[in-house]
A and B are shown apart, each in its own frame.
Chain A
Amino acid sequence: MVITDPVYFIALPLLTAFLLPLFGKIYKPLIGIIPGLVFAFLAYISFDLYLNLVPGKPIIIQMAGWAPPWGINLVFSEFSGLIVTLITFLAFLVWVYSYNFKKVGFDNSKKYFTLLMLMVAGSIGVVLTGDIFNMFVFLEITAIYSYGLTAFYKGRDSAEAAFKYLLLGSLSSVFILLAILLLYKQVGTLNMADIAVKAQSIDPKMKSIIAILFFVGLGIEAEMFPMNGWVPDAYSQAPGPVAASFAGMLAKSGIYALIRVFYTVLEVKGVFDLLLIMGLLTIIFAEFSAMRQKHLRRMLAYSSIGQMGLIMVAFSFNTKAGIFAGLFLMFNHAIIKTLLFLSSGFLTYSTKQKKIRDLDGFGKIMPFTSLMFGLGAFAIVGLPPFSGFWGKLNMLVATADSNLYFVIALILLVAVVEIVYYFKVIGRLYFRQQHKDVEVHNPTWNAILAMSILAIVIIGVGIYPDLITDYLTKATNELFDKAGYIHSVLPNLSLN
């Protein structure tokens, strides 16, 4: 039991990040090698823990010997375990992709790997923790990581993007903190299960103020309209692997926090209707903005916001089918967007202005990267036989189950918009004459490896979705079963 304690997911990356500057003093390449070993180990133990999880019996560990609600606890359940496994897997792939970044130099790569370790610790912490204030602390860690690495390439634009995110992110932190403060005043505890038990006694007016504060604060992290002004700037200014980590890991922990708070901790009337409306607005705003973008990265960023909106809509149904579709979309978005950002990293690196029209004819000169980008684009718009198809199909089924026919129409309309702007890029990649004097940067072997693994997962799940549907169903049941969560965290409590 000692070696497979979920606390390692947080303690090990933190320890590595603290020690990384010292490793760099001993032998410089260690700053790239050690994070890889840690990520590989974390990915291994997360798969091991997740596959051996007994249904209905989440692994719950307490900190410092105090049982919840007095101490902080970590909950590795079917739902949180799924997200943690996804995060560690993607973190390992991002490392494989980026460990060879020679061009940025020793000090920049030291900073990059230190911050990456901390971000992984932070986003896993948000997902695993069973304590609302602890969640806030880990959200802070992920937010500061984003400010720091958005401004990785020094320049006016990236400093502006980082500063914009800094302002919005601080606003989000303040809102979440105020919400936690008011909540603590009402119930006198910070443990999520304990709050869930005592939340019925809160005055409804106070409850809705708390809910709105949480909604806005976590909505900024989850890229919800209209609080997502930071997303396009941050995604387009950050380096490729960092943008991939935003889409694959940070956005996932943001939406996880939102869902966990409103599904398990606070039951507020009407919050799911609000989530539905905001999700729909997010989709419409993002997809139509994406169509008008001239820069590849900004287009991907808007598309990412659109996907997050779709996930919010799926969770807003508050039905099992909706949660299942939302989880499938989360999985797809994490895997596919990571592939798109990783491949676009090399595509834009070879262009001068990172614009879409600079990509003419890249299919011939960068065949592998273009193929990967094309595969990602086909998958994200939802074409069979890729995994994106199953996500969208389940989404439509869940929408039909909830009798929201105008939402079905909207999702289909948006799918057409997505096809338009993704195929515009693919058309340029494959059916245009290439520009003269293009400086080609072919991907390194490790980048090829990382992208191939992602592509294999996308095609594998697309052809044989049963690979993951079983786990997604279990996660759905876990999230839907609020009483079960409370009971497993606080076994001595009698629910009355």
Chain B
Amino acid sequence: MKKVVVIGSLGVIVYYLLSAFVAIPFGADIIKGVKEFYLQKSPDDLKVANVVTSIVVNFRGFDTLGEVTVLFLASTALGSILYHRRSQHSGLNPQRTSVEASAIVQTGAKIIFPFTVILGAYIFIHGHLTPGGGFQGGAIIATGFLLMLISYRKFFIKHNALTWIEAIAGSTFVILGLFGLIYAKNHDFLENFLPAGKLNDLLSGGIIGIIYIAVGFKVGAEITGILDTLLTVKETGLDPEEN
């Protein structure tokens, strides 16, 4: 009986949601509004070739600051909800939950790791020119670390270094924003106060590129920290995200 009621009410919800979303034609140019303004202003005023980046970091930069904070919060709070109970009789301290990988995986990981990090760095440095950006680049860097974490049981990440990277990258974002209050034309938070440069140059877009690099560092450090928290059991203390 209970199941019938649940399925029935889910069916009603799904029907109405689907009817709402089916009404949106796929791929058609239907949404009028702020879009045109963004498409026009990004190359003209901001000198940013990648319109997605200019929306993410400039037009809606305040949201991005919030999203970076969400990730920071998640990595800080994760240790409270998902943690491994400490086992009394384990020898290693701290200890990885996974087993040692085979020699093929280990050798491969060692070769691929530096290239993964370089690819990630390339993507967030060129965030304002090519597809991708801080979040994507940071996630790629974290993938490289994940590869090392699952290949080597003795590969440990220095939480001290992660803390420094997170703190400096996060505060760079906010401080660049606050500089906008003082130096920029309209005295607005997150407003560009550096010369915009020439479209398609690496040094174009003013603070947009710098902020995306900071986001890249922060996202990379945070996702790496989250992965490490999930994969490691610590002997001392009940708090797994403890340094």
> Footprint of B on A, CB under 8 Å?
1-2, 5, 7, 11, 14-15, 17-22, 25, 61-66, 69-72, 107-108, 111, 114-115, 118, 121-122, 125, 131, 133-134, 137-138, 140-141, 144-145, 147-149, 151-152, 154, 159, 162-163, 166, 178, 182, 184-185, 187-190, 206, 209, 212
Selected from B59, B81, B177, B186, the residue in CB contact (under 8 A) with A70 is: B59
Docked CA distance A149–B73 (Å): 11
User: Which residue of chain B has the shortest Cβ distance to A155 in the bound complex?
Assistant: B238
A137 proximity list for chain B (CB < 8 A): 63, 66-67, 70
In the complex, which of the residues B24, B34, B170 has the most CB atoms of chain A within 10 Å of its own CB atom? B34
Q: What 4 new A-B contacts, CB under 8 Å, besides A134-B66, A141-B73, A178-B17?
A: A18-B167, A21-B167, A64-B188, A149-B77
B76 proximity list for chain A (CB < 8 A): 111, 114-115, 148
Are B16 and A2 touching (Cβ within 8 A)?
Answer: no
Docked CA distance A70–B62 (Å): 13
Give chain B nearest CB distance to A336 CB in angstroms: 28
Are A18 and B187 touching (Cβ within 8 A)?
Answer: no
Q: Which of B25-33, B97-105, B118-126, B142-150 contacts A (4 or more CB under 8 A)?
A: B25-33
A190 proximity list for chain B (CB < 8 A): 34
Docked CA distance A63–B32 (Å): 22
Q: Which of B87-95, B108-116, B189-197 contacts A (4 or more CB under 8 A)?
A: B189-197
B83 proximity list for chain A (CB < 8 A): 154
Docked CA distance A190–B69 (Å): 21
Are B189 and A5 touching (Cβ within 8 A)?
Answer: yes
A17 proximity list for chain B (CB < 8 A): 69, 72
| A–B Cβ pairs within 8 angstroms, 9 of them | A5-B181, A62-B186, A65-B191, A134-B66, A147-B80, A148-B80, A159-B81, A190-B34, A209-B17
Docked CA distance A61–B186 (Å): 10
Are A145 and B73 touching (Cβ within 8 A)?
Answer: yes
User: Which residue of chain A has the shortest Cβ distance to B177 in the bound complex?
Assistant: A11
B185 proximity list for chain A (CB < 8 A): 65
Are B238 and A154 touching (Cβ within 8 A)?
Answer: yes
Docked CA distance A190–B59 (Å): 12
Give chain A nearest CB distance to B88 CB in angstroms: 16
Within 185-243 of B, Cβ neighbours of A (below 8 Å) are at 185-192, 237-239, 242-243
Are A189 and B33 touching (Cβ within 8 A)?
Answer: yes
Docked CA distance A11–B21 (Å): 36
A108 proximity list for chain B (CB < 8 A): 239
Are A188 and B31 touching (Cβ within 8 A)?
Answer: yes
A70 proximity list for chain B (CB < 8 A): 34, 37-38, 41, 59
Q: Please tell me if B61 contacts chain A, counting CB pairs below 8 Å.
A: yes
A107 proximity list for chain B (CB < 8 A): 237, 239, 242-243
In the complex, which of the residues B70, B164, B243 has the most CB atoms of chain A within 10 Å of its own CB atom? B70
Known: A62-B188, A189-B33. A118 touches B69 (CB 8 A): yes
User: Which residue of chain A has the shortest Cβ distance to B218 in the bound complex?
Assistant: A18
Known: A63-B188, A152-B80. A21 touches B163 (CB 8 A): yes
Are A162 and B81 touching (Cβ within 8 A)?
Answer: yes
> Footprint of A on B, CB under 8 Å?
16-17, 19-21, 23-24, 30-35, 37-38, 41, 58-63, 65-67, 69-70, 72-74, 76-81, 83, 163-164, 166-167, 170-171, 174-175, 177-178, 180-182, 184-192, 237-239, 242-243
B78 proximity list for chain A (CB < 8 A): 148
Docked CA distance A7–B66 (Å): 13
Give chain A nearest CB distance to B114 CB in angstroms: 28
Give chain A nearest CB distance to B196 CB in angstroms: 12
A140 proximity list for chain B (CB < 8 A): 66, 70
In the complex, which of the residues A19, A64, A114, A187 has the most CB atoms of chain B within 10 Å of its own CB atom? A64
Docked CA distance A147–B80 (Å): 9
User: Which residue of chain A has the shortest Cβ distance to B64 in the bound complex?
Assistant: A137
User: Which residue of chain B has the shortest Cβ distance to A191 in the bound complex?
Assistant: B34
User: Which residue of chain B has the shortest Cβ distance to A163 in the bound complex?
Assistant: B81
Give chain B nearest CB distance to A131 CB in angstroms: 8
In the complex, which of the residues B24, B167, B175 has the most CB atoms of chain A within 10 Å of its own CB atom? B167
Selected from B62, B164, B175, B237, the residue in CB contact (under 8 A) with A72 is: B62
Are A15 and B174 touching (Cβ within 8 A)?
Answer: yes
A22 proximity list for chain B (CB < 8 A): 163-164, 167
Are B80 and A63 touching (Cβ within 8 A)?
Answer: no
B20 proximity list for chain A (CB < 8 A): 182, 206, 209
A152 proximity list for chain B (CB < 8 A): 80
A185 proximity list for chain B (CB < 8 A): 24, 30-31
Give chain A nearest CB distance to B85 CB in angstroms: 9
Docked CA distance A30–B187 (Å): 31
Docked CA distance A146–B17 (Å): 29
Are B175 and A15 touching (Cβ within 8 A)?
Answer: yes
Give chain A nearest CB distance to B25 CB in angstroms: 10
Give chain A nearest CB distance to B211 CB in angstroms: 11
Docked CA distance A145–B163 (Å): 19
Docked CA distance A17–B173 (Å): 13
Docked CA distance A206–B35 (Å): 22
Docked CA distance A406–B166 (Å): 56
In the complex, which of the residues A2, A14, A131 has the most CB atoms of chain B within 10 Å of its own CB atom? A14
Are A64 and B69 touching (Cβ within 8 A)?
Answer: no
Are A61 and B188 touching (Cβ within 8 A)?
Answer: yes
Are A14 and B34 touching (Cβ within 8 A)?
Answer: no
A149 proximity list for chain B (CB < 8 A): 77, 80
Are A147 and B66 touching (Cβ within 8 A)?
Answer: no
